[in-house]
Amino acid sequence: MIIVITGPTGVGKTKMSIELAKKYNAIIVNADAMQVYKGLNIGTAKIKEEEKENIEHLLFDIREVNEEYTVYDYQRDVRHILEEHKDRNIILVGGTGLYIKASLYDYRFKEESNKDIDYSNYTNQQLYELCLQKDKNCNIHPNNRIRLERFLTKEDISIIEPKPLYNFTIIGLTTDRDTLYNRINNRVDIMLEEGLLEEVKYYYDNYRDAKSLKRGIGYKELFNYFDKTSSLEECINKIKQNSRHYAKRQYTFFNNQFNIKWFNVDFNNFNNTIKEVEEYIEKQ
């Protein structure tokens, strides 16, 4: 049995994955693009060791921050796990929709091209329009320049047939917008209390040119603080804003790409949500 736990940032995916893993004696596989990197713990809200409850967790902390790790790499690794553990229950948890899609559906990848094109004179909007010309379904945000350029200089994905390759159930956790945005804002404050600034400073000093950090929310914004181009308050507000915008993009991707069963999270009594999800799974 393969269960996917997804949804926007800050809705309790990690906690749900632990509870379901205990019930179904499952292993947990990461489906978050930033949590594959070692050391990016606070800013990615990565599960802590004491929270794992001796459950096997795979594809967490498998790359250094200065190592390239693409959706192609992820697809290869996760499918190896799905094959190696096909006799086990597996829970895929995370909010990176493209990772989930590439894992479970018939996505084929072509080799990266060697084209060396200089896009430095293009605006973000021009890059975005070029991406749409290449693929009208491109869902990269116009402000994500790194991903836009990468998309243009490689042949990423060829969808031979958008059909699932496995039997799986996709569970989406959600809540109303005001609650979600408040949770996102509060979580950023908690991250700062837990030492986010110190974590980012270490990587700013040692790996500031790593591509992974330039696209990671919580890291790229604070780089501006250490560059002395923005105040700490401005950077914190930007982290919260970008996190909220990311949550909106996650919803768009999930609803357009997946047959997903949504559950409104009861944050006052999370056990109620766990029970609802378990009842749904048992009926599948």
Q: Same domain for 141 and 193? A: no
Chain center to CA of 78: 14
Give domain status of residue 142, yes or no. Answer: yes
The b-or-e profile of 171-207 (16+ CB within 10 A means b, else e) is bbbbbeeeebbebbbebbeebbeeebbebbeebbeeb
Last residue of a domain, one of 155, 188, 219: 155
Q: Report the DSSP beta bridge partners of residue 5.
A: 93, 171
Q: Supply the CATH number for residue 201's domain.
A: 1.10.287.890
Residue 213 resides in a domain:
yes
16-45 pLDDT, tens digit per residue, is 999 999 999 999 999 999 999 999 999 999
Q: Is the C-alpha dihedral spanning 112, 104, 2, 184 positive or negative?
A: positive
Residue 229 lies in a domain: yes
Question: In a structure prediction context, what are the per-residue pLDDT tens digits for the chain, which is 284 residues long?
Answer: 999 999 998 899 999 999 999 999 999 999 999 999 999 999 999 999 999 999 999 999 999 999 988 888 999 999 999 999 999 999 999 999 989 998 998 877 654 443 456 666 678 888 887 888 777 778 888 888 888 887 777 655 554 456 888 999 999 999 999 999 999 999 999 999 999 999 999 999 999 888 889 888 999 999 999 999 999 999 999 999 999 999 998 998 898 888 899 999 999 999 999 999 999 999 88
Tell me: do 195 and 234 sit in the same domain.
yes
Edge-to-edge strand order for the sheet containing 168-174?
57-58, 26-30, 89-93, 2-6, 168-174, 261-264
Q: Is residue 235 part of a domain?
A: yes
User: C-alpha 105: how far from its chain's center?
Assistant: 17
As given in the structure block, the two tokens for residue 103 are: 């894992």
Asked if the structure places residue 57 within a domain, the reply is no
User: What is the number of domains present in the chain?
Assistant: 2
Q: Which of 207, 226, 243 is the last residue of a domain?
A: 243
Question: What amino acid occupies position 228?
Answer: K
Residue 147 inside a domain? The answer is yes
Question: What integer pLDDT is reported at residue 109 of this predicted model?
Answer: 65
User: Residue 194 falls within a domain, yes or no?
Assistant: yes
* CA 213 and chain centroid, separation: 14
pLDDT for the residue 114: 38
> Is 83 within a domain?
no
Is the same domain home to 142 and 183?
A: no
Q: Are residues 182 and 233 in the same domain?
A: yes
* Closest to 104 measured CA to CA, from 138, 72, 75: 75
Look at residue 209 in the predicted model and tell me its pLDDT. Answer: 87
Enclosing domain of residue 190? 178-243
Q: What is the pLDDT of residue 143?
A: 86
